């Protein structure tokens, strides 16, 4: 399988399943699911060449397991990272004591005041290991790693969710829980 093609399809899937389904006139339900048959049909109409076996290959081999099929494989959705307003309907769970967030220096002054905000996405994204946070932060430059007192937040009533692909999600991280 040509990895460049697979990566290109994965990026396009992120676009239509997280941010802009209307690009290919795709409908997502309120939980972010698309019908697999409709997705394949509309991807092909938009000029992508993809069939069910290639879609399955992309989902299975995606480096971050960004997409999931439902049980009978008639539906597919992105596990996290949406900017469109969908409800992942995950159960709230107790987080590890410390979670990490990777960002860059130019955002720190703001984060010290406002805490971590969702910005254009549906949640603040956190990870249980520093390595992942370094990768996330490095997308924008030299990564700055913030440690989040997640247990304290949880005790104070903040909700945490763990996506299918093990990204920790929450609505906001007030600055007092962040170690800079
Ligand atoms: C920053 C990728 C100023 C925040 C990654 C980040 C992740 C603030 C940026 C996933 C702020 C938002 C999400 C505040 C937060 N003032 N800046 N108050 N609060 N920020 O992309 O966490 O490859 O929406 O630090 O790997 O970088 O797409 O969030 O720098 O898992 O699957 O505002 O996206 O995954 O950026 O990344 P993003 P993120 P995928």
pLDDT tens digits for range 93-136? 999 999 999 999 999 999 999 999 999 999 999 999 999 999 99
- Split into its structural domains, the chain has a count of 2
Q: Are 108 and 166 found together in one domain?
A: yes
Closest residue CA from atom 34 of ligand 1: 81
- 138 in ligand 1 pocket by Cβ < 6 Å? no
Rounded to 5°, the CA angle 84-85-86 comes to 105
Residue 132 Cα, ligand 1 centroid: separation in angstroms? 12
Alpha carbons 22 and 65: distance in angstroms, whole number: 23
Nearest to 24 by CA among 8, 43, 52: 43
Q: Are 117 and 162 found together in one domain?
A: yes
Pick the last residue of a domain from 78, 113, 133: 78
Residue 1 Cα, ligand 1 centroid: separation in angstroms? 31
- 121 in ligand 1 pocket by Cβ < 6 Å? yes
Q: Are 21 and 64 found together in one domain?
A: yes
Residue 85 lies in a domain: no
Pick the last residue of a domain from 14, 49, 78: 78
Pick the last residue of a domain from 78, 113, 145: 78
How many Cα atoms are found within 13 Å in the side-chain-facing hemisphere of 66? 19
- 113 in ligand 1 pocket by Cβ < 6 Å? no
Nearest to 57 by CA among 19, 18, 17, 2: 2
Residue 42 lies in a domain: yes
Pairing of β 67-69 and β 168-170: unpaired
- 111 in ligand 1 pocket by Cβ < 6 Å? yes
Residue 65 lies in a domain: yes
Q: Are 113 and 41 found together in one domain?
A: no
Closest atom, ligand 1, to C-alpha of 124: 22
Instruction: Tell me the CATH number at 168.
Output: 3.20.170.30
Q: Are 27 and 68 found together in one domain?
A: yes
Closest atom, ligand 1, to C-alpha of 66: 32
ipTM over 0.95? The verdict is yes
Residue 138 lies in a domain: yes
Query: What are the pLDDT digits (tens) for 43-59?
Result: 999 999 999 999 999 99
Domain carrying residue 56: 3-78
Grouping H, G, I as helix, E, B as strand and the rest as coil, residue 59 is: helix
Write down the pTM of the prediction.
0.95
Residue 2 has pLDDT above 90, yes or no: no
Through-space distance between the first and last CA atoms of the chain, rounded to whole angstroms: 43
- 146 in ligand 1 pocket by Cβ < 6 Å? no
Q: Are 8 and 46 found together in one domain?
A: yes
């Amino acid at each position: 399988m040509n990895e460049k093609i697979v990566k290109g399809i994965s990026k396009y899937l992120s676009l239509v399943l997280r941010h802009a389904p209307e690009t290919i006139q795709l409908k997502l339900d309120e939980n972010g699911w698309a019908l697999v048959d409709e997705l394949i049909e509309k991807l092909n109409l938009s000029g992508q060449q993809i069939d069910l076996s290639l879609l399955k290959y992309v989902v299975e081999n995606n480096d971050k397991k960004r997409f999931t099929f439902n049980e009978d494989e008639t539906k597919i959705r992105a596990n996290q990272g949406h900017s469109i307003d969908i409800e992942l309907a995950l159960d709230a769970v107790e987080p590890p004591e410390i979670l990490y967030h990777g960002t860059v220096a130019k955002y720190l002054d703001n984060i010290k005041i406002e805490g971590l905000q969702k910005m254009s996405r549906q949640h603040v994204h956190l990870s249980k290991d520093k390595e992942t946070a370094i990768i996330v932060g490095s997308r924008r430059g030299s990564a700055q790693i913030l440690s989040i007192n997640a247990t304290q937040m949880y005790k104070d009533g903040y909700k945490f969710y763990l996506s299918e692909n093990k990204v920790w999600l929450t609505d906001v991280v007030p600055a007092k829980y962040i170690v800079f």
